[in-house]
A and B are shown apart, each in its own frame.
Chain A
Amino acid sequence: EADIYQTPRYLVIGTGKKITLECSQTMGHDKMYWYQQDPGMELHLIHYSYGVNSTEKGDLSSESTVSRIRTEHFPLTLESARPSHTSQYLCASSHLLSSGNTIYFGEGSWLTVV
């Protein structure tokens, strides 16, 4: 069982609010990721990190920002939420990716912006 945790699981907020989605893993993984997934659709990588003080943009452009001050913690922040940000956000982690390495996912954070 993966030791990666996301909070909150579900959140409904008003337009213009600032929100931070928390993600923590206890597996000592160097690499962490944030994916965005609309219901029943494919996953899109929006951010990733190779380790402390490393953050990179993913394949899908996102208005969110991330930080990696500690190895185990990779929070995602939306400074001003909009209805278009409504989606599921999945955090994941792995050892530095090489052939066959497994990515472990959290249970996801469902964000609804009204």
Chain B
Amino acid sequence: QAVVTQEPSLTVSPGGTVTLTCGSSTGAVTSGHYPYWFQQKPGQVPRTLIFDISNKPSWTPARFSGSLLGDKAALTLSGARPDDEAEYYCLLSYSGAWPVFGGGTKLTVL
């Protein structure tokens, strides 16, 4: 089973920009991994932020964007707000195996 790695925690200042990354133990993350990003606030149901690298459900604010950055998937938040404080999870799909979540990044806006 592949291991998906994320930063355990990050801090961003209000109005600032932060990039969360998502790596794979199998090598470079590519479009074939169909990267997803999810946001989960304490006590709440997760929500899908980004799918297939950079596509957004209708609710996703424009300040969030997804990309491939080097050999990882990336989620960039530009213009952070206090309400963006949450746990962020990525999900990668693997050919011939099941999708795997990363361990999550706890984002603090401070």
- Whether A and B are associated in the same complex: the answer reads no
Q: Which residues of B contact A (CB under 8 A)?
A: none
Q: Which residues of A contact B (CB under 8 A)?
A: none
